[in-house]
Structure formats: C-alpha cells, structure tokens
Structure 1
Amino acid sequence: MNGAAQTPLQVRDFAGKAVLVTGGAQGIGFGIAAAFAARGAEVAIADLRGEAASVAAQRIAQQGSGTARAYEADLAEHAQIARLVAEVEADFGRLDVVVHNAAYFPLTAFDAITPAMLQRTLAVNLSALFWLAQAATPAFIRQGGGRMLATSSVTGPRVAYPGLAHYAASKAGVNGFIRAAALELARYKITVNGVEPGMIRTPAMDNLGDDAHNRRIEQGIPLGRLGEPSDIAAAMLFLASDAASYITGQTIVVDGGATLPESTAVLG
C-alpha cells in the first residue's frame, strides 16, 4: 500500500458495443436490456412476441436511457436463431454480448407434463443456448472476443420447486453447458457465464401464486424481499464487463440468500 487513494473496480460503460438479449420484452429480460442500453450499448431485444419487443424498445427510447431495436424470433426454432444472430450483426455491424434470457416454464405437475411441453421447455431454455452460442461465435471471433451469458436459475442446479421438473432439468443443463462451452471457447477470448436468479418480482411470478403466496416466500428469504430485475441486470453487466475478463464457466447466484442451506432453520 502506498497511501494513494484506492479506486474501486467500476463496471465500465458499453458505448459502441452491440448486445443481444433474448426474451427481452418484459421482466428480467427487459431489465437486462434497459441496463445495457443505459450504459451506452446498442441493444437488440428479441422476443417471441414481436409487438411486445417493439414496445420494449420504444420504452427504452422514451426513457432516454439508450437505443434498442426489436426482433421477433421463436427461440425453439434453430433456423430462427441463426437468422436472428445474422440480422443483429448486420444491423449493428458487430456483436459483442449475447444474453440468453428467454424461457418457457408452464407450472405443471410432473405426471401431467406432456411430450410437447417437455420438448418446448428444453428447446427454448437449453437447446437455444447451444444454437445461439454456435451462431454468435464467428461474430465474436471477428471482434476479437465476446461474452456469452445465460439466465439460469437456482431451480434445478440447487433447489427444486413443485410443478417445475421440466424447467429444473433444463436449467441444470444450462449450467452444464456453461462450464463445457467455457473450456472450448476460451481460446477465442470468449467467456461463457451465467446468473442464477432466485425469486424475482416479474410478471412470470403470477404463474406461481398470488400476493399472499409471494409474501410467504419473502419471509423465507434472508434479505427479506423478492429480487428485482435490476438485481439480475447488475450481475449481467459485471459479467459482460472488463472487470470480469478473467471469469469464465461460472454462475452467480442472485437470490437474497434463499438457497443457503441453513437459512430456513436460522430464520425459523
């Protein structure tokens, strides 16, 4: 120590960078897209609902927090993923960060899950991550490196939730992919990481229960609240930044301490 003032690591701005966020029309995805746009990135918002993606892009523009373009794509379709990545790179002239956030998780009892439901869950949540990474890798290489990020979940890799066996299986697969892909893509200066959200306050939480149910969930979270999309966005910004240039094959748990093994016993 030389006595000089110490400057903490800052998550740099993303001016001049192109960022693709899937499932970006609402909830966690919109929070991620808005956060990158607010820090100077040109953001591509991809969603199954093209009109909703357009509304999300307009919201970002109206907030004066950056620029965004809307893209319609079904992430269960390989051909649409390849087209999406090609269009984004052509429109922005580059691609620096891809965040696979789109997810499908109809709350369904294990014995009622149908083949079609399981197939779509795995296609959107897991297979799409493979195809996005494959499609984005050449674009990343042209830029001299890149960031492949995924919204995973604590459900599957760490805990279980009734009615989400198909979702849990897909997210456990996401974490496995992150580790394996990180090894293979490291030589291209491409990092592969993810964020595991806990209970986050989004429209999708309506699938899990009413307000009273959510309040009971909060009582079991050590930090005493549900997470917000901005909590996940902050972790994504860090993983996409130069501050995380030596991190790959990892996930960050953002759950307010809910999955700590002793949390329930301690809280009573």
Structure 2
Amino acid sequence: MTTGSGGRDAERVAVVTGGAGAIGSAIVAGLRSGGYRVVVVDRDADISADLALEADTRRAAAEVLQRYGRCDVLVHAAAAFNAATLAEVDAATWRHVQAVNVESALWLAQAFTPGMAERGFGRIVFITSDTLWDPPAPMLLPYIASKGALTGIMRTLARALGPDGITVTAVAPGLTDTPAARTVNSDDEFAATVTRQALKRPLTPADTAAAVAFLASDAATAMTGQVLCADGGLVLR
C-alpha cells in the first residue's frame, strides 16, 4: 500500500463506526498509521450518530460526504451486545441489536458505494465474531444472530459490488482483552478461552486492527467475500 503525505492512500477517507471503543480505536489508529484520513461515526465522535436509528444513520452518512467529500473504506465495528436467551428475548431487544449491528451497515453501504463505484475502488469490512461458529452462551442469541446476518450480507455484497472494484470482507475476533469484555468475563473465563486457542495468549484489540488494516489495503486486492478469524485459532475454518 502506498503511504505518506504524497501517496495515493493519504487522500483516501476511511469511515469507522464504533471507533470510540477499544477495538474500534485500535482500528482507527491502524488505518491512520497507514495513511488514511479516518472519520469516526459513534455516539461521541467526529460525527455523532445513533446507529439504532435509520434516519440518524443516513444523516451521518450524508454529513460524511458533505464534510469529507468521499468514503473509500467503510469499517463497521459498532455493535450492541444486549443479551437475552430464547425465553427472555423480546421484540425491542431483538430489533435494537439488529438495527445497530446489521441495518446501520446497510444504510451506510447504500450511501457510500455509489462513490466507490465511480472511483473504481472501495473497501467494506464488517467486524463479526467467532461466536458465530462457536456460541459460548445462550444469552448471546441476538448478538450472534446479528453477526450471522452480517456474514450473509458480506458475501452477497461481495458478488454484487465486485464488478465495481469494491471488496467486501469481514474480521471475526475472538474473546479480546478489552475493558468491556472484562466487565462480563472473569479471569478464569479468559484463561479457559486461551487454553482452547491454538495460540496460547490473550487477544488484544491490535490483533483485530491488523487484520482490518490488511483488508483495507491494496495488498488485499484479491480478497473479497471472506472472513478472517482473528481469534488465535479457536475456530478453525
């Protein structure tokens, strides 16, 4: 990938949803170090938005284009984690998780892909989860379902947008050592997960960020419709 103030990628704009979180901020830092001009879309960020609301998501997309003129890379890292088992889940919980995790990605892609197609270059990267293949708890039903939906969308868009030079991929992290994860997982649960991984070390936000940076770069020009599991080898696909 060409980098630096005079490089081609220095003029590219990357939009990252959920960029205020631990994994999201690592993704932002990684893209910036690669020469991208990064715009964070989050509740308290460069462009503030409630991604649970279609109108607010579309407004944020329009603001990106108005202020920055383009979006070359879209990374959807925002996620709602509202937990509920089959017996507990209600329509409000279900719809909120799907709105943030799935629907907002669609509205942003709708807004940004016409410009990507016009320029003949685009990267869309969805942050999914290895829980799709190895569900750890019944209470993650809404969350895991949303990641399955994102994976299906990713594969469909890869075929639809490929002729326009747009790649669509996903990164599936494993249990990552973040403040948020520490609030719901004990030290013993982290240790148990590490023992199941092929790589016997805790995962960090930088692991996901590195995979995203690769998929957003010119080095990944032949990669589309694929999921990279950045989970230390817990899920082998």
Of 116, 132, 135, the residue aligned with 1:160 is 135
Q: Using the alignment, how far apart are the partners of 1:102 and 1:25 within structure 2? A: 9
Q: Deviations over 1:226-258 (max 9, x none)?
A: 211111111111111111111111111111011
2:159 paired with 1:183: yes
Q: Distance in 2 between matches of 1:47 and 1:203?
A: 18
- 1:41 — aligned with what? 36
Q: Which sections of structure 1, spanning at least 5 residues, go unmatched?
A: 1-10, 54-69, 262-268
The alpha carbon displacement at 1:12 in A equals 4.2
The aligned counterpart of 1:229 is 205
8 A contact 1:95–1:143 mirrored in 2:
no
- 2:9 equivalent to 1:18: no
1:99 aligns with 2:94: no
Q: Is the 8 A contact 1:104 1:121 kept in 2?
A: yes
Q: CA deviation at 1:36?
A: 0.7
1:119 equivalent in alignment to 2:98: no
Residue of structure 2 aligned with 1:256, choices 204, 229, 232: 232
Q: TM-score w.r.t. structure 1 length?
A: 0.81
Which digits, 9 at most, give the CA deviation of each residue in 1:99-148, with x for residues without a partner?
Answer: 01100112333321221111111111111121111111122123322111
Matches within 5 A, 1:64-103: 70-103=46-79
Q: Which runs of 5+ in 2 are unaligned?
A: 4-8
Structure 2 counterpart SS, 1:94: coil
Quote how far apart the aligned CAs of 1:207 are: 4.3
For 2:106, the equivalent position in structure 1 comes to 130
Q: What is the distance in 2 between the residues matched to 1:37 and 1:114?
A: 40
Instruction: Quote how far apart the aligned CAs of 1:87 are.
Output: 1.4
1:139 matched to which residue of 2?
115
**Residues 141-196 of structure 1: CA distance to partner in whole angstroms, max 9, x if unpaired?**
2332211110011112x111211011111101111111101111112111111101
CA RMSD of aligned residues (A): 1.6
Q: Secondary structure at the match of 2:11?
A: coil
User: Which residue is equivalent to 1:199?
Assistant: 175
The one-letter code of the counterpart of 1:137 is T
The one-letter code sitting in structure 2 at the alignment partner of 1:186 is: G
* Cα separation, 2, equivalents of 1:260 and 1:84: 37
Maintained 8 Å contact 2:34/2:213: no
